[in-house]
Amino acid sequence: MGPRILIVNVNWLGDVLFSTPAIRAVKKRFPDSFLACLVVPRCAGVLENNPYLDEVIVAQGRAPFYSLFTHLRIISTLKKRQFDTAIFFHRSKTKVFWAWMAGIPERAGYDEKGRRWLLTRSCPRPEAALHRTDHFLHLLEFLGIPGQGREPDFRPRPEAQAELDELLESHGIVKNAAYAVVHPGGNWSLKRWPVPYFIEWIELFLKKYQAHVILCGTLPEAALSEKISSHFKNGRVISFCGKTSTVTLALLLKNAQFLLSNDSGPIHLAASQGTNIIGLFGPTSPELTGPISKGRTVILRKEVGCEIPCYYRSCDTRVCMEWLKPAEVFEASVKVMDGK
């Protein structure tokens, strides 16, 4: 019987996708292991059909504001699994504490946030900033686990295609119809291309192509998408915000002509499906959080004299996104759409 290994994952969809090459590497190194992954609910769908995982453990509760009952329940869950090793992709001290309380004897992770005393194997942070995928793989190399490629691994369950087909048909989109997917949202406002720019881009796209535009996003992003879709009355611009699961969104992206998106979760879902991508980057860095895809990837950003990445939540000028004009983005879209 092989070792029982727990991977404690991060809290954002894109970062969890970035971790899948590391999950693959652990299983390849220990093929007889029982390999589980602890993840928050909103990211569990990314891992539900992962062939390298034996179990996905969902940490129910509102991170990081867990109740005492939630702490005790998670610790009990981990203790019952009798893990030999926990590998922490997450920076949290709390989650290392869970593993310690659960009696997991070997606990490995980066030395940060004052948690060295809780770790049995503490990896110094890399001197230079790495892409998030390489950040996880670097930790594994420290532990003697070689990488097995950088491509993300997300395999939607096949039966979800019927769910997507039903959703498409309910909006008048027939099978094999051409469509582009647009994600206008993002974790914070500075990452988002302006709404009027999306509207202008869609006008240009619909004028040139007989295709649909499908807006995607979470339910809280529905109001943002409505500002865009309400501008169009021809039935060719449709919002699926809040109507797709992680799995059905991945399949939607897989069959799209391309995805136009800010730096956000859907861009990495598209990458995992080999979808062509046009990524709009402003205050964040594609070198650190950009998509890794077998499909065609076009990253658009402006050099505006600022320090990028800045990760600012507010800015007086917003020039990094506002200088990226719809005509320029449309020109890139035509090249992707026409395969040039």
Question: Do 161-337 and 4-142 have the same topology in CATH?
Answer: yes
DSSP class of residue 144? Answer: T
- Please report which helix (H) or strand (E) contains residue 334, including its range: helix 326-337
pTM of the entire predicted model = 0.92
| Domain locations along the chain | 4-142, 161-337
247-253: long-range pairs with CB below 8 Å, 24+? 247/45, 247/48, 247/49, 247/156, 247/157, 247/160, 248/156, 248/160, 248/163, 248/164, 248/167, 249/216, 250/154, 250/156, 251/156, 251/160, 251/161, 251/164, 252/164, 252/181, 252/214, 252/216, 253/181, 253/216
- Identify the pLDDT of residue 339: 86
State the Cα angle at 232 between 230 and 236, rounded to 5°: 115
pLDDT tens string for the chain (340 positions)? 799 999 999 999 999 999 999 999 999 999 999 999 999 999 999 998 999 999 999 998 776 667 888 889 999 999 999 999 999 999 889 999 999 999 999 999 999 878 889 999 999 999 889 999 999 999 999 999 999 999 999 999 989 999 999 999 999 998 889 999 999 998 888 899 999 999 999 999 999 999 999 999 999 999 999 999 999 988 899 999 999 999 999 999 999 999 999 999 999 999 999 999 999 999 999 999 999 998 899 999 998 888 878 877 778 888 889 999 999 999 999 999 998 6
- Identify the pLDDT of residue 169: 94
Pick the CATH number of 161-337 from 3.40.50.300, 3.40.50.1370, 3.30.1360.20, 3.40.50.2000: 3.40.50.2000
- Identify the pLDDT of residue 188: 81
- Identify the pLDDT of residue 50: 97
Using the structure block, give the residue that is written with the tokens 């969104």.
249
CATH superfamily of 4-142: Glycogen Phosphorylase B; (3.40.50.2000)
Structure tokens at 199: 């509207």
